[in-house]
């Protein structure tokens, strides 16, 4: 009986480790997409940013308005300098895709902001569902 208990405990621990590793990989993937977002934005490469955005994002914000927003943001805040991840969360949604939330402190030449990215799987890849500047 004791061996069965230890085997069950070991199995549960292994499953927890696998889930943590999977979550870590998902977070790293989303963080790399945020890196791409800022690199493309800094270069003015809005077409490449477009590939990071989900179809649902553009249901709310048309492409031309989003590009205009990014251009105005650069005028008001100046060039991107650096960022620091301050919060991350993976939300499991029943009968849907996981969502990843990443909050960053972001420094520009003229201002410091907090910026939030929400990712969801779209076309078998994590894409930005929502982007908010506080």
Single pTM value for the model: 0.80
Phi, psi of 94 (to 5 degrees): -60, 135
3-state secondary structure the chain: CHHHHHHHHHHHHHHHHHHHHHHHHHHHHHHHHHHHHHHHHHHCCHHHHHHHECHHHHHHCCHHHHHHHHHHHHHHHCCEEEEEEEEEEEECCCCCCCEEEEEEEEEECCCEEEEEEEEEEECCEEEEEEEEEC
pLDDT given at position 92: 83
Domains contained in the chain, number: 1
Query: How confident is the prediction along the chain (134 residues), in pLDDT tens digits per residue?
Result: 655 544 444 443 433 433 434 578 999 999 999 999 999 999 999 999 999 999 999 999 999 999 999 999 999 999 999 999 999 999 987 767 789 999 999 999 999 999 999 999 877 889 999 999 99
The residue range of the domain holding 50 is 4-133
Q: Residue 80 corresponds to which tokens in the numbers above?
A: 């991107």
CATH for 74: 3.10.450.100
Report yes or no: 104 and 133 within 8 Å, Cβ to Cβ.
no
């Amino acid at each position: 009986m004791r061996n069965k208990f230890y085997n069950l405990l070991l199995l549960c621990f292994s499953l927890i480790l696998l889930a943590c590793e999977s979550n870590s990989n998902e977070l790293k993937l989303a963080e790399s997409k945020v890196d791409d977002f800022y690199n493309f934005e800094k270069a003015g490469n809005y077409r490449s940013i477009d590939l990071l955005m989900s179809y649902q994002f553009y249901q709310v914000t048309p492409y031309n308005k989003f590009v205009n927003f990014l251009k105005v943001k650069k005028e008001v805040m100046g060039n991107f300098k650096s960022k620091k991840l301050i919060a991350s969360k993976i939300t499991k949604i029943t009968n849907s895709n996981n969502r990843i939330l990443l909050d960053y402190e972001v420094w520009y030449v003229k201002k410091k902001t907090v910026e939030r990215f929400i990712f969801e799987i779209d076309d078998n890849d994590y894409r930005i569902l929502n982007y908010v500047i506080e």
